[in-house]
């Protein structure tokens, strides 16, 4: 069978719920650098954004309005998930998110698996970790601490 020369679609696309999808579109664009895929934005009859797609460095996410019963992680007062996103210039991206008002979860730090990363919460409390590979390390060279093995992530 011949291999396709066209780019394959991303096979896993995070779909995030936001109480205010339109506000999330603006915020994720201004603070994290995502670009709205306007051709995929759907509005209700009242003009409210109910579905949208965004991308950063070719990776897509989708956003949706889940309905009146939904509560964001911020309203729940708990972490529901983390998103891990690679960027080209971590220091520049970190500065951008701090200027934009993202709530800092963790400062830029080196990881045992070779990435540098930091964590922030967005306007509705979704947790995002942005990373850049500093050193390619095979798993056989990973040296996690006891804290790493416990799966500890700051939720402050």
Q: Hey, where are the domains in the chain?
A: 12-68, 81-148
Question: For residue 53, which of 45, 62, 44 has the smallest C-alpha distance?
Answer: 62
Instruction: For domain 81-148, give the fold.
Output: 3.30.720
Q: Which CATH architecture has domain 12-68?
A: 2-Layer Sandwich (3.30)
Q: Give just the sign of the alpha carbon dihedral 57, 59, 65, 66.
A: negative
pLDDT of 145: 83
Alpha-carbon torsion, ordered 131, 156, 68, 43, to 10 deg: -30
> Model-level pTM?
0.83
- 101-126 CB burial, b ≥16 within 10 A, e <16: ebeebeeeeebebebbbbbbbbbbbb
CB atoms within 10 A of CB 27: 19
Distance (Å, whole) CA 149 – CA 110 = 15
Question: Which residues are paired to 83 by β-bridges?
Answer: 128
Q: Do domains 12-68 and 81-148 have the same CATH topology?
A: yes
The tens place of each residue's pLDDT in the chain, 156 residues long, gives 444 445 666 788 999 999 999 999 999 999 999 999 999 999 999 999 999 999 999 899 999 998 888 888 888 889 989 999 999 999 999 999 999 999 999 999 999 999 999 999 999 999 999 999 999 988 888 888 888 777 655 444
CA pair distance 53, 70, nearest whole angstrom = 20
pLDDT of residue 4: 44
């Amino acid at each position: 069978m011949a291999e396709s020369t066209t780019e394959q679609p991303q096979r896993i696309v995070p779909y995030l719920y936001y109480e205010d999808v339109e506000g999330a579109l603006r915020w994720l664009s201004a603070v994290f650098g995502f670009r709205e895929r306007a051709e995929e934005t759907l509005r209700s009859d009242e003009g409210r954004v109910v579905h949208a797609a965004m991308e950063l460095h070719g990776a897509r996410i989708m956003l949706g309005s889940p309905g009146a019963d939904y509560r964001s992680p911020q309203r729940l007062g708990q972490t529901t998930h983390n998103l891990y996103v690679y960027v080209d210039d971590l220091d520049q991206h970190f500065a951008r998110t701090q200027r934009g008002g993202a709530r800092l979860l963790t400062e830029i730090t080196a990881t045992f698996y070779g990435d540098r990363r930091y964590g922030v919460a967005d306007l509705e409390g979704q947790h995002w970790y942005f990373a850049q590979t500093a050193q390619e390390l095979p798993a056989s060279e990973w040296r996690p601490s006891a804290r790493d093995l416990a799966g500890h992530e700051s939720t402050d």
